[in-house]
Amino acid sequence: MPSTANPILDLRSVGKQFELQGQNIEALRDANLSVHKGEFVCLIGASGCGKSTLLRIVAGFETPTRGQALMWDMPITGPGPERGMVFQDYGLFPWLTVRNNIAFGPTSRGLSSSEVKDKTEHFISLVGLQRFADAYPHQLSGGMKQRVAIARVLANDAEIVLMDEPFGALDAMTRERLQDELLEIWQRTGLTVLFVTHSIEEAIFLADRIVVMSPGPGRIESEIAVLLPRPRDVVAPDFNDMRRMLSEQLHSHHGRKAA
């Protein structure tokens, strides 16, 4: 369960504008969001609602036009290892093995060779890739690549993992298996996760809390606590009641101008 102490992440009236072909585009308006340590939060909404923009601000890849993005009450001023990003396209170094991809962060931070080895082997084991430790990314399935990406973030001592549609390119069976594995890792490590998805079912299956975003300009419309017991059954009546409610809420956004 998430802590009741100060939030690990705090967005205060965050807005973001971009200039495109001489026009100002308001991608995000007045976003307020707190995430506590150990919490699993999913962001859902239609394309153009600002989900990825919000995630990139938290990652430090974008700077807010207005408001503040804070981690442990300190302004986020750029990327940092404490905020690990997992992308849909994996972002692995193709010239490095699984082991060396995972070891890259600890090595870059100057850990001793024994510390790097211990940490790397721990996270290879955590994601179940011992047999593939010396394989290269092109020799792995999509699901394996995503496990390496997750392990690489964890090995870099991330306190919060930011995931932008990480399973969106995978087939349904692999996606379901990785959802289960991600939840197991989350529960074993006490990690904090902020997870962007288009899938209502995925959000309900994974999240402690779902943040619904709407377009035109992108904003946070509501937050919904998911109180269903774990492990969750996607065909259970209470699961489907929540799916229906969220689907109706998201469909009500149709017709609005996307940012």
Checking if the pLDDT of 171 tops 80, the result is yes
The whole-model pTM stands at 0.91
SS (H, E, C) 97-164: CHHHHHHHHHHHCCCCHHHHHHHHHHHHHHCCCHHHCCCCHHHCCHHHHHHHHHHHHHHCCCCEEEEE
Please say whether the beta carbons of 37 and 3 come within 8 A. Answer: yes
Residues in the chain: 259
CATH superfamily of this structure's domain 1-82+193-259: P-loop containing nucleotide triphosphate hydrolases (3.40.50.300)
pLDDT digits (tens, 9 = 90+) for 207-236: 999 999 988 788 999 999 999 999 999 999
The H helix count followed by the E strand count for the chain is 7, 10
pLDDT category of residue 88 using cuts at 50, 70 and 90: confident
Domain ranges of the chain: 1-82+193-259
Q: What are the residues facing 71 on neighbouring strands? A: 9, 74
Q: What's 216's DSSP letter?
A: T
Give the per-residue pLDDT at 259.
Answer: 35
Is the CB of residue 239 less than 8 Å from the CB of residue 232? yes
For residues 31-55, average pLDDT: 93
Write out pLDDT tens, residues 184-200. 989 988 899 999 999 99
